[in-house]
A and B are shown apart, each in its own frame.
Chain A
Amino acid sequence: AQTVTQSQPEMSVQEAETVTLSCTYDTSESDYYLFWYKQPPSRQMILVIRQEAYKQQNATENRFSVNFQKAAKSFSLKISDSQLGDAAMYFCAYRRKGGLHRHQETSGSRLTFGEGTQLTVNP
């Protein structure tokens, strides 16, 4: 079974600074997807960024980027120029490729989440 571990229950950063959130995972699959979701106080789950395991290039999305180390099974999130609105719980998640309906990759397969990291942004 796949597992996702976030070893930092809480992190804090000064506004405009950079912070990195850690995530490690365990899987026997060679191809899969990784995600970071943000959960603000409103409790909605918002997709921040995703990475496909077969792609060597790290994904970026504006101020958000990842450091994907496949051999180490590590998937960290870097937030640059942190803003007050970035304060939230951040969840790392894994999704295997090749779901139950194999003609549609990952369709319907579950997301496995880590425990979350609560990020505080200090003004």
Chain B
Amino acid sequence: EPEVTQTPSHQVTQMGQEVILRCVPISNHLYFYWYRQILGQKVEFLVSFYNNEISEKSEIFDDQFSVERPDGSNFTLKIRSTKLEDSAMYFCASSELSPRGGSSPLHFGNGTRLTVT
């Protein structure tokens, strides 16, 4: 079964540095998402992406964050000038076009654990 893959599985960075989290969505999916989960807290929506542009973003997704689909397979989340509170698990997800009357489920990757020191 096709999977969403994320790299790296764990990223450690110093405060103020920039990080890029990488994701390869399922190949025939058209919608891409980033979520984050701070340790012990709920999973929070960051952004959704369709047709090479942001569809929706949350209040968390400020100017510090950006997303990009640099080629036909990768989907990246860039965090500029990381802060301690950016430490979290970051999940990438993708979904296909919804069939009429249905809801295409989100398929999640295994996550990237980001630690900011």
| Interface, chain A (partner B; CB < 8 A) | 33, 35, 37, 42-47, 50, 52, 91, 95, 97, 99-101, 104-116
Contact = CB atoms under 8 A, between A and B. Distances in A.
Contacts of A37: 108
Nearest to A100: B55
A111 B98 CA distance: 15
Contact of B100 (A47, A105, A108): A105
Interface string B35-58: 100000111110010100001101
A110 B42 contact: no
Contacts of A46: 108
Nearest to A33: B103
Interface string B14-33: 00000000000000001101
Contacts of A114: 42
A122 B64 CA distance: 44
B103 A108 contact: no
